[in-house]
Each structure stands twice: as structure tokens, then as C-alpha cells.
Amino acid sequence: MILLASKSSGRLATLRAAGVEPLVRVSSIDEETVLGELIRGRRDAGLPAPSAAEQVQALARAKALDVMTSTDPQEAEVVVGCDSMLEIAGQVVGKPADAAQARERWRMMSGGTGTLHTGHFLVRTADGTTAEGVSSATIRFGSPSPAEVEAYIASGEPLWCAGAFTIDGLGGAFIEGIDGDPHGVVGISLPLLRRLLTALGVVWTDLWAPPPATKPVDDAH
């Protein structure tokens, strides 16, 4: 059993579609505080500003370690923390604060490309051993009309997504293509997660939920 330290419906749906039914417990970290400490630490050490990959990894780590403190090893073998950000036009962006910011994001993204980074941080509850990695994929955005952008923003979906878009919801029609792992774009990379779990001694197929006791009814008959 794994515990997902995230309230993301996309991550949960991705795991369930892959046969994994995790526990879910949302962390209580303040993301701005975590990133602020990361940026100050780098600056004080005379280092360049953290990259997008370093930022999502810091947030994923903070979420996993926060939830780890309230997780009994009998509940879950591994805690999984994730976070995603979009890198576009030299900027690193998370969820838009409001409709105006979502509108500006789509002005920047329309017809262009961006890179979606998703950090993964895993903690084995028995002894605190960790494994981590970042999944990155290039997104090729379509060019929705102004009316389509307004309708999309009015749906509310862009306001709770990193980069103000999804590929597995209403926004999917505005994405022309993806170069990289599509699961990572949704918020959790299945191949990366499997490799990290393997490093912690967890066999991926052991996490698959058991098949139903009875065969589903065939609606065709």
C-alpha cells in the first residue's frame, strides 16, 4: 500500500487506472514558504536561482516528509509526494491565482511550447529511506480562439492546474502534442514511480488491486 500526499484528482485517477488504489492524505505545507526558503538558501550560498526541476522537487519532498510524520508503517509502506510546474518563455509557473492570470498564461502559451516538470519524492515509512526523481515533458500548445479561452476559463478547470491546462480534461482539445511521459503531465509519472518504488524494495505489480470476485455483466447480452 502506498499513500499519496496530494489532493490532486488527476494523480489519484492515474494511479487507479493503473490498478493502484492508494491511501490519500493531504499535506499542510505552505508552498510559498518552502520555495522562499529554497531561493534564500541558494542566494545565501552564492548559487544561481533554483531551476524549475529543483523547485518541484523541493515541494514534492516537503509534502512527502510532512505527511510521513503522521503515517504509521502499518498504514502504508511508502509515502509519495508530487508537485508540478510549467516552464515557459523563461518563466516557471504553477496554478494561476485567478481568471486574469489564467488568461495571461494562455496568451503566452497559445501556439507555443512549454516544459511541464513533475517532482516525485518517496519515503519508506519503516525506516525513512527515500527515493526521488523529476519527470519532464514538452507540451505543444494549440491556438484556441479568444472565445474558446474565455469558455475554458469560465469552466474553472484552468484555475486548479499547474500551467492553467490539463490533457485529461476539457483542456485536452487545446494540446497539439506531448514529447515525453504523458502521465507526468497529469501529475504523476507511472514509469518513474515504478522505478523509485523498485529502489525502495516495492514491487509494482504487488500494488495492483485484486480483480473483482465476479465477472462484470456483459451489457451486450
d(CA 71, CA 161): 27
Of 92, 103, 84, 105, nearest in space to 10 by CA? 84
Catalytic option among 44, 66, 72, 83: 83
Helices 52-68 and 31-44, axial angle in degrees (round to 10): 120
Of 201, 211, 215, nearest in space to 2 by CA? 201
Which amino acid appears at position 139 of this protein? I
Residue 50 Cα to chain centre, angstroms:
19
d(CA 197, CA 204): 7
Is 219 one of the annotated active-site residues of the chain? no
Catalytically annotated residues: 83
